[in-house]
């Protein structure tokens, strides 16, 4: 069985390759093809594995994407915060992925890395990139699976730098601080995607899986996990909704700020995603890594 990860650089692609290479494929030899803009970026631990090889490909150019002989594809819409129009970028990347799959003619299953809320046709900001990808890829192969992932626990990595100062603190756009939000570790996303790439049962197409961690978490619990990770008290600095444009404007290009404001509002109480009625037909994959373990892994001990 030949599985392509397109592209392989994103942290979710890397976690999936790791899970695939660690899986027990006793009956069928497994070949994993990681597609990189720059194949020299493929990690040494993958390159030394006999079932892995790195190929070159850029999602912005369909002619560079070669999937001949591939059975399964993990498709990812890589975030491009430098793009002037990130929704247009999602269209280009997804169309090029679809064209490459069509040209190959061998792909039986596409597993698409997507997001909670991607079913919403509007009002979700940056998550619209995942909605666009689902729309474009929904008929790309006989079997298509949407992996709708929750908020990545690794998003809190940006808090580590302010937690490691003399006034340990972090900013939270998630309020109220006791509001429970589904979160998931990227390692669990990798295991979930590998499970659905290798699964023998043909799912109906498209087939939707919500990918979550073992439980939902509050920002107060994030504070506790950061405290445990760095061994000192950590202050939460909540960001008010009216301050979102200024907050996101500090580290994002102006063209992306509005989409991040809308996305954040969509999963806070009263937002489009938070208010959506759960669909009983959607499967939920529960990962095993807790927030404490994940933040402990990505934190550097305090000075």
Ligand X SMILES: NC(=O)c1ccc[n+]([C@@H]2O[C@H](COP(=O)([O-])OP(=O)(O)OC[C@H]3O[C@@H](n4cnc5c(N)ncnc54)[C@H](OP(=O)(O)O)[C@@H]3O)[C@@H](O)[C@H]2O)c1
The two tokens of residue 4 are 């392509």
Nearest to ligand X of 85, 166 (CB atom): 85
Site membership for ligand X, residue 155 (CB under 6 A)? yes
Report the residue count for the chain: 303
Least CB distance to ligand X at residue 62 (A)? 11
Site membership for ligand X, residue 129 (CB under 6 A)? yes
Which segment (52-60, 66-74, 170-178, 284-292) binds ligand X by CB under 6 A? 52-60
178 to 207, contacts with ligand X by CB under 6 A?
Answer: none
Site membership for ligand X, residue 151 (CB under 6 A)? yes
Cα–Cα dist 219/184, whole Å: 14
Nearest to ligand X of 1, 171 (CB atom): 171
- In this structure, the number of other CB atoms found within 10 A of the CB of residue 158 comes to 12
Least CB distance to ligand X at residue 39 (A)? 10
Cα–Cα dist 73/138, whole Å: 13
Q: Which residues pair with 172 in a beta bridge?
A: 238
Q: Which residues pair with 4 in a beta bridge?
A: 33, 73
Of positions 46, 52, 146, 152, contacts ligand X by CB under 6 A: 152
Site membership for ligand X, residue 216 (CB under 6 A)? no
Which segment (8-16, 66-74, 174-182, 224-232) binds ligand X by CB under 6 A? 8-16
- For residues 101 and 107, the answer to whether their CB atoms sit within 8 Å is yes
End-to-end CA distance of the chain: 48
Residue 239 is classified by DSSP as: P
Site membership for ligand X, residue 77 (CB under 6 A)? yes
- For residues 132 and 146, the answer to whether their CB atoms sit within 8 Å is no
Q: Site size for ligand X, by CB under 6 A?
A: 24
Which segment (43-51, 151-159, 245-253, 290-298) binds ligand X by CB under 6 A? 151-159
């Amino acid at each position: 069985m030949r599985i392509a990860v397109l592209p392989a650089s994103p942290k979710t692609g890397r976690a999936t390759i790791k899970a695939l290479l660690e899986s027990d494929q006793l009956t069928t030899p497994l070949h994993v093809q990681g597609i990189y803009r720059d194949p020299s970026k493929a990690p040494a631990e993958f390159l030394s594995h006999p079932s892995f090889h790195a190929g070159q490909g850029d999602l912005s150019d369909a002619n560079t994407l070669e999937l001949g002989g591939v059975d399964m594809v993990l498709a990812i819409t890589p975030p491009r915060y430098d793009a002037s129009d990130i929704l247009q970028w999602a269209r280009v990347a997804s169309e090029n992925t679809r064209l490459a799959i069509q040209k190959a003619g061998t792909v039986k299953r596409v597993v698409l890395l997507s997001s909670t809320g991607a079913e919403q046709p509007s009002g979700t900001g940056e998550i619209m990139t995942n909605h666009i990808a689902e729309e474009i890829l929904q008929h790309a192969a006989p079997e298509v699976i949407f992996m709708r992932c929750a908020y990545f626990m690794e998003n809190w990595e940006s808090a580590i730098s302010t937690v490691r100062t003399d006034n340990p603190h972090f900013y939270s756009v998630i309020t109220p601080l006791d509001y429970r939000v589904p979160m998931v570790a990227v390692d669990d996303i990798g295991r979930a995607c590998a499970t659905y790439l290798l699964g023998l049962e043909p799912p109906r197409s498209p087939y939707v899986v919500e990918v979550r961690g073992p439980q939902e978490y509050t920002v107060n619990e994030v504070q506790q996990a950061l405290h445990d990770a760095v061994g000192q008290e950590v202050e939460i600095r909540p960001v008010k909704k009216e301050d979102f444009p200024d907050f996101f404007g500090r580290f994002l290009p102006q063209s992306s700020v509005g989409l991040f404001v809308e996305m954040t509002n969509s999963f806070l109480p009263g937002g489009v995603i938070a208010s959506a009625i759960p669909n009983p037909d959607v499967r939920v994959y529960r990962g095993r890594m807790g927030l404490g373990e994940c933040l402990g892994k990505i934190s550097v001990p305090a000075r």
